[in-house]
Amino acid sequence: MIRLTVNGQAQTFDGEPSMPLAVYLRDVLNIPTVRYGCLMASCKSCLVYVQSVRSLACTIPMSDMQNKDVSTAPEW
Ligand code: FES
């Protein structure tokens, strides 16, 4: 089981380890401000902060997210 923090809340993930972080954030956690398009590091629509570093969430598999901290854009 992968444990991570998203916007200050502890979360767990027990699914497919290759799932992109962007898909987890939008489709599993239902965070509407997280978007994705190309899923190939081209469109930059999936920008989030991982460990306070701007990151393309489509390029990061959930298997790399153990004990990581993620921040997404606030809802407007
Ligand atoms: S979805 Fe296009 S760069 Fe991540």
- CATH number of the domain at 23, please: 3.10.20.30
Q: Which tokens is 26 given?
A: 């939008």
The pLDDT of residue 12 is 97
- pTM across the whole model: 0.94
The pLDDT of residue 37 is 95
pLDDT tens readout for residues 48-57: 999 999 999 9
Does a structural domain hold residue 76? no
- Whether 28 lines ligand 1, by a CB cut-off of 6 Å, is no
Q: How many domains does the chain have?
A: 1
Pick out the chain residues at pLDDT < 70. 75-76
Does a structural domain hold residue 59? yes
Domain that holds residue 61: 2-71
Give the other-Cβ count within 10 Å of 63's Cβ.
12
Q: How far away, in angstroms, is 46 Cα from ligand 1 center? A: 5
The pLDDT of residue 75 is 63
- Whether 41 lines ligand 1, by a CB cut-off of 6 Å, is yes
Q: Which tokens is 13 given?
A: 């993930």
